Amino acid sequence: MDYLAIGVHELACISERRIERLCNPSLSELPAFLVNEGGLNSGFMIAHCTAAALVSENKGLCHPASVDSLSTSAATEDHVSMGGWAARKALRVVEHVEQVLAIELLAACQALEFRLPLKTTPPLEEVRKLVRSVVR
């Protein structure tokens, strides 16, 4: 289970780095934090901070549960797998990854708005339209 959490966590790490590239004008040539008029409107700054915090929390959750094994049953069993704890941690990591990917999707749609009238591929245009039908 720990390996599953680590593998899924890597998706969030990559996604968070892509959010950084979209929000950082020196890397993307897009407006800072994907907003035209900064100041009171912080754009995607806090969304990026949220993604970074979730990725950071995942690092702790990916710590192997097996290192916390204790003896049980009046010291007759010297190994407890901690599989249940590992599964709960993996589920939490997956939930965090879903949130980070959602932030990246929103940031990518916002970035595409700054490239209009250029369009991306037809499938991605459909995704952008779908997202924009729910989120202005």
Taking only the tens place, the pLDDT of each residue in 51-99 is 999 999 999 998 888 777 777 777 777 667 788 888 899 999 999 999 9
Q: In sequence order, which ranges of 1-136 are alpha helices (DSSP H)?
A: 2-23, 25-28, 45-61, 83-113, 122-134
Whether residue 56 lies inside any domain: the answer is yes
Domain span including residue 39: 2-68+81-103
Whether residue 119 lies inside any domain: the answer is no
Q: 14: burial class by Cβ within 10 Å (0-12, 13-18, 19+)?
A: middle
Whether residue 108 lies inside any domain: the answer is no
Count of domains observed in the chain: 1
Whether residue 12 lies inside any domain: the answer is yes
Whether residue 110 lies inside any domain: the answer is no
pLDDT bracket for residue 130 (50, 70, 90) = very high
Give pTM, 2 decimals.
0.88
**Residue 5: per-residue pLDDT:** 72
The answer to whether the CB of 106 falls within 8 A of the CB of 131 is yes
Whether residue 13 lies inside any domain: the answer is yes
* Max mean pLDDT range (2-11, 81-90, 97-106): 97-106
Whether residue 116 lies inside any domain: the answer is no
